[in-house]
Chains A and B, each alone.
Chain A
Amino acid sequence: MNLLFDERLDGELPHRDKTAVLAELQATLPTLTLLHREEDLRPFECDGLAAYRVLPMLVALPDDLEQVATLMRCCHELGVPVVTRGAGTGLSGGALPLERGVLLVMSRFQRILELDPEARTARVQPGVRNLAITEAAAPHGLYYAPDPSSQIACSIGGNVAENAGGVHCLKYGLTVHNVLALEIITLEGERMRLGGEALDAPGFDLLALFNGSEGMLGVVTEVTVKLLPSPETAKVLMASFDDVGKAGQAVGDIIAAGIVPGGLEMMDNLAIRAAEDFIHAGYPVDAEAILLCELDGVEADVDDDCDTVRGVLENAGATDIRLARDEAERTRFWSGRKNAFPAVGRISPDYYCMDGTIPRRALPEVLGTIASLSAEYGLRVANVFHAGDGNMHPLILFDANREGELERAEALGGRILEACVAAGGSITGEHGVGREKINQMCVQFPTGELTTFHAVKAAFDPVGLLNPGKNIPTLARCAEFGAMHVHHGELPHPELPRF
C-alpha cells in the first residue's frame, strides 16, 4: 500500500523542468516568495500525517490575492500541479506535496478582515487560526462553533477544505454548517464568490460542494463564518462504566431521552489512562470506559437536562457519575479528552489515528471487531470517540523503528475502516480522505459513484492539476486495490521504499 504518488495508479503527471518553471514564475511574479532549495523545502515535506514525506518542487508563499491568481494562471498554462496547504495540521495527508508540483502555502493570509457582532459574522483570510476567530469574537459574547482538536494551530482555510468537525458537531454542525460564504480562486485564476451574507444563494449549492473538497476544485481565499452567542452555561457530566458496551448503549439512551448534548464523548480504558497520566484530569483509571456529556444553553434548561441525563446514566449501569463542580473542573475534564492524541503519543513511540464513522447502534459491535483485530495484528488500540455522532478515532499504537510495524498498523487501520463501512458507516468523519484513505475510498464507493466524483472534478479542473492523487482514487487504483484485497492485504510492491 504505497501512499506516495504513483503515476501507474494515480494518472500521469506532467514533467516540467524545475529550473525552467522557477525562472518562469520568478519572471512573472518577481515579488512572490518562492522557495526552491532543498533545505528551504524540507519544512514543507509533510502535513499532520508525518509518516509520509515528499519534497515539493517549489513552495510558493504569496502575500496577496493577485499573486495567488497569477500563480494559478501560470501553473495552469505551464501544466504544473498545485497542492494548497494551510497550517499543515491535517491528518490525512491532504497537503502532502508532489515532487513535480508547486506547494501553495496560504499561511501568510492571517487577517481577520471584519468581525460584525450585530450580523454575527466574521470575514477572515484563510490562514487565520480556528481558535483565533473565537478569541476575537469572545469580547462580543460570541464564538465560532466547530472546534477540531487542533484548533490552536489549524487554519480556517484548511477547515473548509476538510469540512472539519470537533466535539460539538452533533448540536452545532461541521464546518459546512457554519460557513456562510467563500471566496475562491479557480485553477484558471478567476475569482468567484460562493454563498453570501444572506441565508441562501441562487443556483447550485457550490458552497456545500467546496466544503470538504480538499483543494481539488479551487483555492479558498476568504471565508465568512457564522458566529453564535456563547451559551449562558455549560455543564459536564462524567460517567464511568465497567463495560464499553454499556457506555455505548448509554449514548443511545441519552439521545432517546430527547436530549441533544453540546458534546458527547467516550474514551476506553487505554485512552483514559494515557490522558490521566498526561493531564491529571481526574479520570477514573480503573474504568473500562467513560462518557463525557456536556449540556449547554440557558441555566434552567441545562439543570433539567442534567437531571435527566443523570437518571439515564444510572439506568444504563454507570458505576460513578460526577458533575464538574466549576468551570476549572469542566475545562480539566475536556482537556483530558482534547489531549487524548498527544497523551497516547507519550505511551507509544508512534500512533496512527483513524477517523471512521458508524451508526450509533453499531458501536458495541464495531468496538468488538476492533478488539479482535487489535489482538490479530498484535498492536494495541486506544479508542476515543465523538460518540454522539458515531465518529470513532481508534489510535493504533506502534513503533516505526520495529521492522514491519508501520505496515501492520496501516493494514490494521484499513481493516478498521472497512469494518466501519460494513456497519453502514464511512471511512472518514472529519479528517478527510487526502492521500491516507485513497485506497479505502475504493471500499466505500463503487465505480459509478467514483465516475461521478471525477465528473464533478472535471467541471472545475479538467486537466487534473489541483491536488492530483488525493480524495478520489482513479479506477485503475481501485482495480489494483481490489486485486490486492484478494491477497489478504499482501503488499504488491515490496521493492518500493517506505517512508
Chain B
Amino acid sequence: MIDTFAALAHGMAVAVQPMNLLYALIGVFLGTAVGVLPGIGPALTVALLLPVTYKLDPGGSLIMFAGIYYGGMYGGSTTAILINTPGESASMATALEGNKMAKAGRGGPALATSAIGSFVAGTIATIGLAFLAPWLVDFAVRFGPEDYFALMCVAFVTVSATFGDSPIRGLTSLFIGLTLGLVGIDKLTGQARLAFGVPELLDGVEVTTLAVGLFAVGEALYVASRRHHTEEKLEPVRGSLWMTKEDWKRSWKPWLRGTMFGFPIGALPAGGAEIPTFLSYSTEKRLTKHPEEFGKGAIEGVAGPEAANNASAAGTLVPLLTLGLPTSATAAMMLAGFQQYGLNPGPLLFAERPDLVWGLIASLFIANCMLLVLNLPLVGLWVRLLAIPQPWLYAGILVFATMGTIAAKPSVVELSMLAGFGVLGFLMRRFDFPIAPVVVGLILGPIAESQLRRALAISLGDPMTLLQSPISATLLGVALIALLAPFVLKGLGRFKANED
C-alpha cells in the first residue's frame, strides 16, 4: 500500500511536467471532439495518431492516448443528451433519459450531471486501477465462457424488464435486436448467416449504425411526421442551467453505483462498456424514488450510466497494463502504441518501466480534472444548440448522422442500413415499441451466443458446466431471482389483499 502511494507520487511528478500536461490537454481535447461525432471514435483517432507520435517520447504520447480515451467517453454523452445521437455505443443508455431531460429544458443539469458523474467515476476508478489492479486481474482471468454467458443472462433479464411499458413490447424489441445480431459470419464456424450474399453484411451490423439510425434518424422522421399534428414545444432552458440541490441529491448515489458496475465489468476481458451502462440504468430505474419521471427525463438515468461508462474506461486499463490484454478497440490501439516503443504491457511492465506506468496512471487523474474544467463551461454553449428551430436542428442531425456513418464505413450498404434502421425507428416510435432493447440485443446477443457455445465446446457439450462454475451459478441465480421476483411480489400483494 505504502509502495503504491510512493509510486503514485512519483508518477504524479512525471505527469505534471509541462510537456506531459500539454499532451494530456491535446488528448482530452481531441478525445472530446471525436467522441461527439458518431462513427469516429477514440480507436480511430489513436490509430491515425500512431504514425505521428512514434518519434515522440513514449510517456508523452501514451498520456495523450489515455486523454483521448477518457475524452471520448465524455464527448459521446454530449450528442446523446442534446440530439439523441449517441457518439458511441457506451453513451446509448445516457440518451434514453438525457435527451428527454434536454427536451424538457433541463439539458444543462443533464450535461452537468454527466460531466461531474464522469469525473467522479473516472477518479474513483483510477484509484481502483492504482490499488486493485493486481487483485482484480486475477479475478478477471478466472471468468470463463460460462461465466460470461451467465453475466449476459443477468443483463438480458434486467434490461428486458426495464424498458418499455409492457414486457411483451420490450421482448419484441429485444428479439429484433437478437436477430440483427445473427447477421454476418458466425464466429465459431466461420459460416455466413443472414448475409444474403452481400459481402458488407459479413461482418455483421455495426452497432453505431443501428443506434444512430434508430435514435437519431428515427426521431427526425417521427418529429417530421407529427409536425402538423401538435407542435412539440422545445424549451431550451427551463429553470437553472446548473444542477439544483435536488439534482445533486439525486445524482450522487447513481454516480457511485454506476462506478461499481463500470469498473469491475470494464476490467473483465470480455466485459465492455455497454453492459455496465445498461445494468446501471436498470438499477436506477428500480431504486428511484421518482419512477414516474423515468422515460420522461429522470436525472438518475443520466448520472448512473455516464458514471458507469467512464469507470469502465479505467477498468479496461487493468487488463491492458497488467496482462497486455486489450479489451476494447481503443485499448487495442493503445497496446499498438506501447509496442511501437518496444514496450510490452504485461506483468513485467510495472517492474521494468514503473515511471511510465505510474506516470500514465497519474496523468489519468489530471486528464479527468482537465475534462471537467473543459466540459462544464461548455454546458451553457451546448444547450443553446437546442434553441435552433426544430426543422433546422433535425436537418442538421440527419446530415450529422449520415456524415458520421460514412466516416466510419464508406459504403452504400452501410448508408442504406442507416436509412432502413431510421424507418424502423420511426415505426417503433409510432407504435410504441421501446427502441433501446434492439441495440441491447445486437450488442449482447452475439456475445452471449459465442460464450455459451465456447463453454459447451470446452465441456464437450455438457450443459452442467453452467452450474458447476460458482461464478456462473451465482449469476444465473441472480438472473432467475430478477426474473421471478416481480411475479412473486405481485402474487404476495394479491394474497395479502385477499386476506383483508
Partners in one complex: no
